[in-house]
A and B are shown apart, each in its own frame.
Chain A
Amino acid sequence: MSEQPLFKVTIDNITVEVPAGTTILNAARKIGGDVAPPAMCYYSKLEGSGGKCRTCLVEVSKGSEKDPRPMPKLVASCRTTVMDGMEVKNITSDRVMDARSGVVEFLLINHPLDCPVCDQAGECHLQDLSYEHGKAGTRYEFQRRTFKKHDLGDKIQLHMTRCILCYRCVFTADQLTGKREHGVLDRGDHAEIATYIEKNLDNEFIGNVIDVCPVGALTDKTFRFKNRVWFLKPMDAHRDCPTCSGKVTLWNRGDEVFRVTARKDQWGEVEDWICNTCRFDKKQTSDWVIEGPRLIDRHSVISQGHYAGKVGIHKPTETFEAVHGGRQPKLLMDIHSVSEVNKPEITLSKLDRPAHSTDFTSNKD
C-alpha cells in the first residue's frame, strides 16, 4: 500500500531506495559520509534553494533502467531528481573532482581570504570546501571585487566581499519572516546582497541569516572579534521562549556566554530556527538550562582548543594541600593576578559591539 514507488539509485556503487521525486543530493545524504556531495547554496529547510553554486555537481553514468544512456554533462545533484535504476558517480569520478576544484577556484576568485580576521573561520563551509577540493594557488591576476562594509541593522554585519551569492539569506528572510527587505541587486560581477536604501532588517527571526550563511558574509555583531570559535565550548541549552523553540547552542568560555546560535545538524543546517531575543540578548548563563556539551566532529578545528578556560563549569582544583598532608605551598602564583587577558572587570561577552581600544585603557601604547 505504498502510495509512492521507491526508486533504486546507485551512488558510488552504494545502492539506496528512495521515494520518487527525491534529489540525487538527498539520496546521497541518506547514504552519508563522503558520498554526499558538498553543497554551498542548497538548504533543505529553504524552499527553492540550490542550483546556484555548482559545488554539488555529479556524473550520471546511467540515466535510468528504461533509458540507460549517461547524461552528457555533469548535473547539479541538488536540482536533479532520481530515476529508477540511476547510477551516479560522485567521488569515484575524476571528472567530478576536477570540475569541483574548478568551481572552488571560481568561488574563490573574489573571496578575500581574510580568514585570520573573519569570525566564521573554523566553521566556514567555503573553508572546508577549498581545503578538501581546492587547489593551493590561484590563477587570478586581477583586482578582486570589493565593497564597502554594510550594517544590516545593529546586530548583523554584512561583509559583501566575502559573499558567494548563494541566496540562502534571501530565501530565509522571504520564507521565515515574510517581510523581506533585502535581496540581490545588480547583475553579474556587480551583484550584491543589499537592503533597499539601507533599510534596517527588523524582524524577530532575521538573525537566522547569520546561521544559514555558508561563509563569513553575515556575522553576529555581538560576537564580532570577541573570540575564535575553537576556543569556545559549545553547549546544548534551552529556555522557555514565547516566540521560538528556544533550543540553541551556547558558545561558552568559562562561565561567559560569548555567542548563541541555532543547533546545526551534520550537514551544517539549522535544526530549529531561533529568534533574535534568544540569539542576541540572552548572554547570561542563568538565562539558560544547560543540557550538556554539544557533540562536535573530532576532526573539526572546534574540538582542537584545549585551554583550561574552555572547560566551562568545571574549575581546576588545587591538589597541593591534599598531596602534602595539609601543608600550604610557600610560593603559589595565581596566574590571574599577573595576566592581563580575561580580566574580570572587562567582560567582553557583555558588550553588544566589538571591543575597541577604549575598552583596554590599561594598554601602554
Chain B
Amino acid sequence: MQALTNRGKQVSREPMSFMERIYLPNIFKGMAITFSHIFKKQPTIQYPEQKREFSPVFRGLHVLNRDEEGRERCTACGLCAVACPAEAITMEAAERMPGEENKYREEKYAAKYEINMLRCIFCGLCEEACPKDAIYLSETFAPANFTRKGFIYGKDDLLIPDKNKAPEEYAAAKGAARV
C-alpha cells in the first residue's frame, strides 16, 4: 500500500535498553522543561481587565454609521442583504418626510434594519457591498446571551451613537483599539 505521507515511522519492537527501563532520565528531562517555563514570558493575558489589541482587519460586531452631521447613512438599498451569504440581513425602507433632514442623509432610509447574529458568519461582505459607507464591522465582539431572542439585532442595537452628542459611547461602539 502506498503511504499517504513520507512522515510515517516504523514502530520499533526492540526490547528497551537499561537507561530507558529506569525511566528517571526522561522524567527529569520533562521536569526541566516545565521548570524552565517559570522564567519565560507569559503569553496569557487576564482577559476582562487586560485586552489584546485587535488586528486591523478584524471583523466584529456590525455598526450602522452616521455622517459628520450625525445623520444616518443607510438608504436601505439592499445590497448588503443580497451580498450576505448567510441571509442574515433584512430591512424595510421608508421615505424621508419634510423636517427629518437632520436625521437621515438621503430621501430614502432604513426604517427597520435587522441582522440575525445567529446566522451571521462575520464575513464582511456586507461592508464590502455597501455603496454608502453605512455598515462597518467594528472591533468589538457580539456579546453572549442566554436566549436566542437576544441575537436579533435591530436598528437601536446597531446604529452607532452620535459622535457629536455622545462621544464616549461612540468610541465604545467603534471598538476600543480604534478610538
A355–B131 touching, CB < 8 Å: no
> In the assembled complex, how far is the CB of residue A169 from the closest CB belonging to chain B, in whole angstroms?
22
Q: How far is the CA of A121 from the CA of B75 in the complex (A)?
A: 13
B91–A341 touching, CB < 8 Å: yes
> In the assembled complex, how far is the CB of residue B87 from the closest CB belonging to chain A, in whole angstroms?
5
> In the assembled complex, how far is the CB of residue B49 from the closest CB belonging to chain A, in whole angstroms?
33
Asked whether any CB of chain A lies closer than 8 Å to the CB of B152, the reply is yes
**CB nearest to B74 among chain A residues:** A116
A357–B81 touching, CB < 8 Å: no
Q: How far is the CA of A308 from the CA of B81 in the complex (A)?
A: 12
List of A residues within 8 angstroms of B159 by Cβ: 365
List of A residues within 8 angstroms of B148 by Cβ: 331, 333
Given that A228-B77, A356-B94 are contacting pairs, would A335 and B111 also be in contact in the complex, using a CB cutoff of 8 Å?
A: no
Interface SS of chain B:
mixed
Given that A230-B78, A363-B111 are contacting pairs, would A339 and B90 also be in contact in the complex, using a CB cutoff of 8 Å?
A: yes
Q: How far is the CA of A364 from the CA of B112 in the complex (A)?
A: 11
Asked whether any CB of chain A lies closer than 8 Å to the CB of B156, the reply is yes
Asked whether any CB of chain B lies closer than 8 Å to the CB of A142, the reply is no
B75–A117 touching, CB < 8 Å: yes
Q: How far is the CA of A57 from the CA of B107 in the complex (A)?
A: 36
B94–A360 touching, CB < 8 Å: yes
Query: Within residues 257 to 315 of chain A, which ones have a CB less than 8 A from any CB in chain B?
Result: 301, 304-308
**CB nearest to B91 among chain A residues:** A341
Interface centre among B82, B92, B152 (most CB of A within 10 A): B92
Q: Is the interface on chain A under 10, 10 to 19, 20 to 34, or 35 or more residues? A: 35 or more
A116–B79 touching, CB < 8 Å: yes
B82–A305 touching, CB < 8 Å: yes
Given that A225-B93, A339-B152 are contacting pairs, would A355 and B111 also be in contact in the complex, using a CB cutoff of 8 Å?
A: yes
What string of 1s and 0s marks CB contacts (under 8 Å) between A204-247 and chain B?
00000000000000000000111110110000000000000000
List of A residues within 8 angstroms of B131 by Cβ: 115-116
- Please pick, from A115, A304, A308, A359, the residue contacting B94 in the complex, using a CB distance under 8 A: A359
**CB nearest to A224 among chain B residues:** B95
Count, A-B residue pairs, CB within 8 A = 93
Asked whether any CB of chain A lies closer than 8 Å to the CB of B100, the reply is yes
**CB nearest to B131 among chain A residues:** A116
Asked whether any CB of chain B lies closer than 8 Å to the CB of A354, the reply is yes
Q: Is the interface on chain B under 10, 10 to 19, 20 to 34, or 35 or more residues? A: 20 to 34
- Please pick, from A121, A331, A356, the residue contacting B95 in the complex, using a CB distance under 8 A: A356
Query: Within residues 295 to 353 of chain A, which ones have a CB less than 8 A from any CB in chain B?
Result: 301, 304-308, 331, 333, 335, 337-342, 348
A355–B87 touching, CB < 8 Å: no
B81–A307 touching, CB < 8 Å: yes
Q: How far is the CA of A117 from the CA of B106 in the complex (A)?
A: 8
Q: How far is the CA of A255 from the CA of B135 in the complex (A)?
A: 30
Q: How far is the CA of A354 from the CA of B100 in the complex (A)?
A: 15
A231–B78 touching, CB < 8 Å: yes
Q: How far is the CA of A342 from the CA of B111 in the complex (A)?
A: 11
> In the assembled complex, how far is the CB of residue A227 from the closest CB belonging to chain B, in whole angstroms?
8
A225–B108 touching, CB < 8 Å: yes
B149–A338 touching, CB < 8 Å: yes
- Please pick, from B82, B107, B152, the residue contacting A117 in the complex, using a CB distance under 8 A: B107
List of A residues within 8 angstroms of B91 by Cβ: 341
List of B residues within 8 angstroms of A224 by Cβ: 95
Q: How far is the CA of A360 from the CA of B114 in the complex (A)?
A: 14
A342–B92 touching, CB < 8 Å: yes
List of B residues within 8 angstroms of A306 by Cβ: 87
Asked whether any CB of chain A lies closer than 8 Å to the CB of B140, the reply is no
A365–B156 touching, CB < 8 Å: yes
B111–A116 touching, CB < 8 Å: no
- A interface list, Cβ under 8 A from B: 114-117, 121, 224-228, 230-231, 301, 304-308, 331, 333, 335, 337-342, 348, 354-360, 363-365
User: Please, could you name 7 A-B residue pairs with CB atoms under 8 Å apart, sorted by A?
Assistant: A114-B106, A226-B93, A339-B116, A340-B114, A360-B111, A363-B155, A365-B155
